[in-house]
Amino acid sequence: MSEAGKRTLSGLPFDVFDSAPVGVVATSGLDHRLIYANAAFQRIAGERVLGLPIREAFADLRQSDHFGLLDWVLETGEPVSLRELPFDFGGHRGADAEQRYSISMSKLWLGAEEAGVLLVAAKSGGRAEGGGEIDSIAEERRRFVLRYQSLMRVETQVVWVMAPLGLVAEPSPGWEQMTGQFWADYRGEGWLRAVHPDDRAGVRETWPEARRQGRWDHTFRLKLAGDGYRHVRTRAVPVIENGEVVEWVGTCADIEHEWQEAQRRKLLDQAAAATADIGGLDEVLGMLAHVIMPSVLDGIGIYLIPDFDGQPPEPLVAERFVSIVREGLGPEPQPGTVRFGSDTAFFQAVRTRRPVHRVFPPGKIPPNLAPPGADGWFRSAGANSVALVPVIVDGAVAAVLDAVVCGSREPIGPADVDLLGRMLDHAHAHLSNAMRFQRTQRVALALQNCLLPDPPDAPGMEITARYRPSATAVEIGGDWYDSFILPDGATILTIGDVGGHDLTAAVTMSQLRNMLRGLTMDRREPPGDILRRLNVATEALYGDGTATCILARLEGPENGEWRLHYSVAGHPPPLLVTYEGEGRFLEGALNPLLGYGDDQPRSSAFAMLPPRATLLFYTDGLVERPGENLDDGLQRLRRHAESLARASLDDFSDQVLARMPIARKDDIAMIAVRLPEIGRAGGDGPLSARSCRAPR
């Protein structure tokens, strides 16, 4: 009988009896149609046609009077045992007319309303008196019924028997066909050698809970014969007799396709959720990389592509801004600018707008495949496959995703490349929004650059400014700074923040800054008086508009120190840090913000600044975080600034921005002044000023 013929017509799980050393036959319905006969029974009676009533299937059996017992077993549910029964098939060569058999029959439920009969036949050991042999075959039949009834509760593909759970107790032809293992290899715990090494501990850990629950359901990777590792699902239930578990019967099914589809759906959903509320293109792509990396790859890089018309320029200059590798495979390639020639796979991916996929021996990288600066990592990590997937947003190649798998892991396959493409397509709406956001923000930032001046060349001191736009707002902001030198030689420092984050705020910011310049040049008076006049203009010209501001006049040196004359209008206080690393906020001359108080007087204050000290003005975006007290942000700024007291002014400014945990929902403006050593200003000649602008 063929392998297919061994299965039941309805696909019921009779495989559990395939390797039984005794003959097993199953029938179904009132006409007792033959639905199963195992190999042992076929050796007794020869091959039989499944689906026929048993009287037709065994029409050549001369002892046909016993068929009536099947009706009685099916009707009453009572088992029947026969001893020393000859099987005479009219000279059929597969049967021995002289051989006697012990037969046991019992009712078997095949489904909710379908019943049948299970027959177990074994050769008699002789004609001796006594019931030991018939008791043995009855016990075998009863055990088979219990096993079958347990197996009916699980799905089937490969059937196995364990006693206890974890120890394979009987041969399973299906397991041997699936894994290529022989009985000597997989008996006991030997079957675990076919389980992926990373999954074996997890398989063992599930057994105690399975014993408590009375059911085992677990998915793991199994090495199939000639097909590598695939995900399989095993399900098992206990065979219980007199309240005791005597064995476990279960199945093992290949679910690789279902598992892959489930993983794809999960990753697609994660990608969509992770990028839903992110504005910048770099942040959207970075978040996608962190979603993809743990589940699929050993390394991932993302390269931003500049805008171009028609064919990509030669060489193509891209920015590697994300580079992530699996733990133990570092160090990862560093971010930076990378150039790609027209003969590279990267250039091909951009030009054709199609993925480039390569599989190769570990560490043997084909020419022109690895991006410059990453080729060393590709070799040391033992890369075995690469996929370069262009990220196309609104018809343009915005970036390229560089995916890598290393070592002995399964190389990137076509399905993985398809998954990466589907993830990017799934996030297209977010990527498109991010692209539009980035382009609009770029225009706004260019406008802001025009509105914010370069610091002056101030004799005897260094002045540096920084501006960082909001990461989530598209339009230009209202943060500003300014510095200029008066005709009398004093240096003016000012910083402010106009309420709002739109073009109106930016225009107001520019107008207030220019008015403040004019008022300061108009007459020499305390900073508080100048801010009083600016406030009158603010209320008259801008109605409900408000702004914060600091105005300071820096003079000196006098006796080795510099004098700061300043006034604060609702703005965070200036921070003074000495060369010795002691910081304090200048908290004098606190006044209401601009837009309130009409023509009320505003106070001014003085502070003496020691040589080599650093004075920092900043806007609230540097110190404010949602849900946090402002004092916490101020003290954090003070500590970081103190630790940077002896750094160059450029490094001081850059590191303050880098170290502060910024929410990035607001603009940040900073202007910092470094005073000279004693004797290096005034009569000893001016110290050449250094002025720089923040990267835009």
Predicted confidence (pLDDT) at residue 677 exceeds the cutoff of 60 = yes
Residue type, position 548, single letter? T
Task: Quote the DSSP letter at residue 565.
Answer: E
pLDDT at 501: 58
Q: Mapping DSSP to helix (H, G, I), strand (E, B) and coil, where does residue 373 land? A: coil
pLDDT band at 692 (very low <50, low <70, confident <90, very high): very low
For residue range 583-638, list pLDDT tens digits in order: 999 999 999 999 887 788 999 999 999 999 999 999 998 998 888 899 999 999 99
Which range, of 105-109, 110-114, 341-345, averages the lowest pLDDT? 110-114
User: Does the pTM exceed 0.75?
Assistant: no
Q: Which pairs with CB-CB distance under 8 Å and at least 24 residues apart come from 522-529?
A: 524/486, 524/488, 526/565, 526/567, 526/604, 527/551, 527/552, 527/553, 527/565, 527/566, 527/567, 527/589, 527/604, 528/567, 528/589, 528/591, 528/601, 528/602, 528/603, 528/604, 529/601, 529/602, 529/604
CB atoms under 10 Å from CB of 497, counted, come to 27
Q: Which helix (H) or strand (E) holds 346?
A: helix 345-352
β-strand 561-569 against 590-591: which pairing, if any?
parallel
The CA distance from 601 to 597, in Å, is 9
What are 679's two structure tokens?
A: 């004797």
Which range, of 267-271, 553-557, 671-675, averages the lowest pLDDT? 267-271
Q: Mapping DSSP to helix (H, G, I), strand (E, B) and coil, where does residue 432 land? A: helix
Predicted confidence (pLDDT) at residue 686 exceeds the cutoff of 60 = no
Query: Which residues fall within 8 angstroms of residue 62, CB to CB, at 6 or more apart?
Result: 88, 89, 90
The CA distance from 572 to 282, in Å, is 31
Indicate the average pLDDT of the chain. 79
For residue range 438-496, list pLDDT tens digits in order: 555 555 555 555 556 778 887 778 999 988 876 554 455 678 889 999 998 899 999 99
Which range, of 45-49, 259-263, 579-583, averages the lowest pLDDT? 259-263
pLDDT at 11: 39
Q: Are 255 and 219 a contacting pair, CB within 8 Å? A: yes
Give the residue from 272, 302, 303 showing the smallest Cα distance to 289.
302
The CA distance from 362 to 160, in Å, is 38
Predicted confidence (pLDDT) at residue 281 exceeds the cutoff of 60 = no
Which range, of 9-13, 102-106, 297-301, 374-378, averages the lowest pLDDT? 9-13
Q: Are 674 and 462 a contacting pair, CB within 8 Å? A: yes
pLDDT at 132: 52
pLDDT band at 693 (very low <50, low <70, confident <90, very high): very low
The CA distance from 588 to 237, in Å, is 79
Which range, of 136-140, 299-303, 369-373, averages the lowest pLDDT? 136-140
For residue range 115-128, list pLDDT tens digits in order: 888 888 877 654 33
Q: Are 288 and 434 a contacting pair, CB within 8 Å? A: no
pLDDT at 280: 54
pLDDT at 80: 78
Give the residue from 675, 654, 671 showing the smallest Cα distance to 607.
675
For residue range 369-391, list pLDDT tens digits in order: 999 888 889 999 999 999 999 88
SS3 content of the chain, % helix, strand, coil (to 5): 35, 30, 40
Residue type, position 184, single letter? A
Q: Are 562 and 607 a contacting pair, CB within 8 Å? A: no
One DSSP character per residue, 190-252 reads GGGGGB-HHHHHHHHHHHHHHHHHT-EEEEEEEEETTTEEEEEEEEEEEEEETTEEEEEEEEE
Residue, of 394 and 204, whose pLDDT is higher: 204
Which range, of 3-17, 241-255, 510-524, 527-541, averages the lowest pLDDT? 3-17
Residue type, position 269, single letter? D
